[in-house]
């Protein structure tokens, strides 16, 4: 079966996490992704957080599947010539260097357009134009400047970053959409264009509901579904809402059997309005079905924490999976807190290819997250990440370099 992006060639100048997640997705959709790495060391993540000495780290292998790797010193004149050939022959250049690095290398947008007016140049940067545009940025900086940290955690504690890499992988996802959209527009214009995802913007986009709440707070002074509502404690900006549901249906994380020793023996429980009578029956509080203090969603709002405490009395008698089974029988929305160990061992995630076991010549087999986006006509086959420079010769000969020229470049340490 063909692949959606077959025939698209990507010059992958990315490193660390944000850029590589983007080009990995494009590779899974069938693009030919050529990862250009610094001769000698390559992407810094190859050597970071290593679990096996001398072997590419999981950090690297899990972000660079289905790519080919070539080494190239793009600061040397002969390296620049190879890069020029690559630019002429590729459709997209993706990079996430520190601001200005591509210009300093001699490859400004204008220069790239001279070489290939059809080229799409896609970048991840920490910030868009403005006071911080020259700053280097990592994941948690983006979470802090994009609104996530200020709105995550409990209001009696400090701001909190999330385990989900919304700054890096979130930006990579946004950038991938920008790239395929620019490729689509190129079909009619014949021209390339620049695509920029600022990590701050990507995080803010994912925190959209919190900007909604900021405006609701400014207008009304309170937000009824926030845990602060019961005590009327609101300040000037959106508070941290703990585990409260961000939507219109109140929810909270409740303890389950074993919570004293198992940090993940919890369930997320949602008091959806439609199933309120079932909730009351299940926890033995039938009187709440008609009690005017509890009968309507509005009446329940100031009493939510007491309601969750009552449901928790019930949930602590059950494991999170037992609670999930019972609540689902009554159509009550909920979800167990799955540990990474449980997720790694989940047979249904393996069956759908969301968790994949991949073989690697140096590390043996390892688990990775496969393509979370499933296309019925473009199935994803996850192939291991390339070794550093594994495809340098193959790619240079595809670009028209003779074996002698390749040997010369190697001798000069350009590759
Ligand atoms: N050959 C020669 N030089 C190369 C090269 C190659 N193949 N590939 C990269 N380089 C050079 C760059 O040109 C740059 O040189 P310069 O500083 O002289 O201009 C240098 O390597 C370092 O690149 P840089 O991007 O500055 O790396 P860093 O390790 O200092 O910073 C980040 C890392 C992630 C902080 C920074 O790249 C950044 O802010 N990126 C944008 C935001 C981002 O994606 N952050 C998330 C990362 S998960």
Residue 172 and residue 206 in contact, taking contact as beta carbons nearer than 8 Å? no
Strands 334-336 and 355-360 come out as unpaired
Say whether 393 is catalytic: no
End-to-end CA distance of the chain: 35
Indicate the top mutation candidate among 15, 97, 105 to test ligand 1's pocket, ranked by most ligand atoms within 8 A of CB.
97
**Predicted local distance difference test score (pLDDT) of residue 245:** 85
Give the active site residue among 43, 168, 201, 213.
Answer: 168
| CA of 101 relative to ligand 1 center, distance in Å | 7
Q: Is 233 annotated as a binding residue?
A: no
Contacts of 129 (CB under 8 A, 6+ apart): none
Residue nearest to atom 4 of ligand 1 (CA): 38
Task: Report the CATH number of the 9-205+345-412 domain.
Answer: 3.40.50.10540
The atom number, within ligand 1, closest to the CA of 124 reads: 44
Measured N-to-C along each axis, helices 18-28 and 168-189 cross at an angle, to the nearest 10 degrees, of 50
| CA of 99 relative to ligand 1 center, distance in Å | 8
**Predicted local distance difference test score (pLDDT) of residue 241:** 95
> What is this structure's pTM?
0.96
Q: Which residues of the chain, if any, have pLDDT below 50?
A: none
**Distances 272 to 214, 325, 353 between C-alpha atoms, Å:** 24, 17, 32
Q: How far is CA 141 from the centre of its chain?
A: 15
Q: Is 257 annotated as a binding residue?
A: no
The atom number, within ligand 1, closest to the CA of 74 reads: 1
Indicate the top mutation candidate among 43, 82, 98 to test ligand 1's pocket, ranked by most ligand atoms within 8 A of CB.
98
Residue 103 and residue 130 in contact, taking contact as beta carbons nearer than 8 Å? no
Q: How far is CA 17 from the centre of its chain?
A: 9
**Predicted local distance difference test score (pLDDT) of residue 401:** 96
| CA of 100 relative to ligand 1 center, distance in Å | 9
Q: Is 187 annotated as a binding residue?
A: no
User: Residue 144: phi, psi to the nearest 5?
Assistant: -80, -35
Q: Is 18 annotated as a binding residue?
A: yes
**Predicted local distance difference test score (pLDDT) of residue 157:** 96
Q: Is 38 annotated as a binding residue?
A: yes
Indicate the top mutation candidate among 101, 171, 392 to test ligand 1's pocket, ranked by most ligand atoms within 8 A of CB.
101
Q: Output the ligand 1 site: residues, CB below 6 A.
A: 16-19, 36-38, 72-75, 96-98, 101, 104-105, 124-126, 136-138, 168
Cβ atoms within 10 Å of 256's Cβ, excluding its own: 25
Q: Is 108 annotated as a binding residue?
A: no
| CA of 102 relative to ligand 1 center, distance in Å | 9
3-state secondary structure string, the chain?
CCCCCCCCEEEEECCCCHHHHHHHHHHHCCCEEEEEECCCCCCHHHHCCCCCCCCCCHHHHCCCCCEEEEECCCCCHHHHHHHHHHHHHCCEEEECCCCCHHHHCCCCHHHHHHHCCCCEEEEEECCCCCCCCCCCCCHHHHHHHCCCHHHCCCCCCCCCCCCCCCCHHHHHHHHHHHHHHHHHHHHHHCCCCEEEEEHHHHHHHHCHHHHHHHHHHHHHCCCCCCHHHHHCCCCCCCCCCCCCCCCCCCEEEEECCCCCCCCCCEEEEECCHHHHHHHHHHCCCHHHHCCCCCCCHHHHHHHHHHHHHHHHHHHCCCCHHHHHHHHHHCCCCEEECCCHHHHHCCHHHHHCCCEEEEEECCCEEEEEECCCCCCCCCCCCCCCCCCCCCCHHHHHHHCCCCHHHHHHHHHCCCC
| CA of 147 relative to ligand 1 center, distance in Å | 25
Residue nearest to atom 7 of ligand 1 (CA): 38
User: Residue 35: phi, psi to the nearest 5?
Assistant: -85, 115
The atom number, within ligand 1, closest to the CA of 19 reads: 44
The atom number, within ligand 1, closest to the CA of 136 reads: 39
Please state, in angstroms and rounded to a whole number, the distance separating the CA atoms of residues 172 and 127: 14
Tokens of 172: 């990579």
| CA of 37 relative to ligand 1 center, distance in Å | 11
**Predicted local distance difference test score (pLDDT) of residue 225:** 87
Task: Report the CATH number of the 251-332 domain.
Answer: 3.30.1540.10
According to CATH, where is 3.30.1540.10 located in the chain? 251-332
According to CATH, where is 3.40.50.10540 located in the chain? 9-205+345-412
Residue nearest to atom 13 of ligand 1 (CA): 101
Residue 412 and residue 39 in contact, taking contact as beta carbons nearer than 8 Å? no
The atom number, within ligand 1, closest to the CA of 137 reads: 39
| CA of 7 relative to ligand 1 center, distance in Å | 28
The atom number, within ligand 1, closest to the CA of 126 reads: 42
């Amino acid at each position: 079966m063909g692949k959606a992006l077959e025939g698209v060639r990507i010059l992958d100048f990315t490193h660390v996490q944000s850029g590589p997640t983007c080009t990995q997705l494009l590779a899974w959709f069938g693009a030919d992704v050529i990862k250009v790495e610094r001769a000698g060391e390559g992407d810094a993540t190859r050597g970071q957080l290593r679990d096996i000495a001398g072997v590419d780290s999981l950090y690297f292998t899990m972000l660079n599947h289905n790519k080919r790797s070539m080494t190239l010193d793009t600061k040397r004149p002969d390296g620049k010539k190879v890069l020029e050939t690559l630019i002429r022959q590729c459709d997209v250049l993706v990079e996430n260097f520190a601001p200005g690095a591509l210009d300093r290398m001699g490859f400004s947008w204008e220069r790239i357009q001279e070489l290939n007016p059809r080229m799409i140049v896609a970048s991840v940067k920490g910030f868009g134009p403005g006071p911080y545009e020259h700053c280097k940025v990592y994941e948690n900086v983006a979470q802090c400047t994009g609104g996530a940290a200020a709105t995550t955690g409990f209001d009696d504690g400090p701001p909190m970053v999330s385990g989900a890499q919304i700054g890096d992988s979130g930006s990579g996802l946004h950038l991938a959409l920008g790239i395929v959209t620019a490729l689509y527009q190129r079909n009619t214009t014949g021209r390339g264009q620049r695509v920029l995802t600022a990590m701050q913007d990507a995080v803010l986009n994912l925190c959209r509901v919190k900007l909604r709440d900021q405006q609701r707070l400014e207008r009304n002074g309170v937000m009824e579904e926030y845990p602060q509502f019961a005590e009327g404690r609101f300040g000037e900006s959106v508070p941290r809402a703990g585990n409260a549901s961000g939507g219109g249906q109140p929810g909270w994380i409740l303890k389950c059997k074993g919570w004293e020793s198992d940090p993940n023996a919890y369930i997320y429980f949602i008091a959806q309005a439609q199933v309120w009578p079932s909730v009351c029956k299940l926890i033995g509080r039938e009187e709440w079905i008609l009690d005017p203090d509890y009968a309507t969603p509005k009446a329940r709002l100031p009493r939510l924490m007491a309601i969750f405490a009552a449901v928790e009395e019930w949930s602590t008698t059950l494991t999170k999976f037992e609670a999930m089974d019972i609540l689902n029988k009554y159509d009550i929305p909920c979800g167990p807190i799955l540990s990474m160990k449980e997720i790694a061992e989940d047979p249904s995630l393996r069956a759908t290819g969301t968790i994949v076991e991949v073989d690697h010549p140096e590390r043996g087999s390892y688990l990775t997250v496969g393509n979370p986006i499933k296309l019925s006509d473009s199935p994803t086959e996850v192939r291991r990440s390339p070794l550093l420079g594994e495809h340098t010769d193959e790619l240079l000969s595809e670009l028209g370099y003779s074996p002698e020229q390749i040997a010369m470049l190697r001798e000069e340490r350009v590759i």
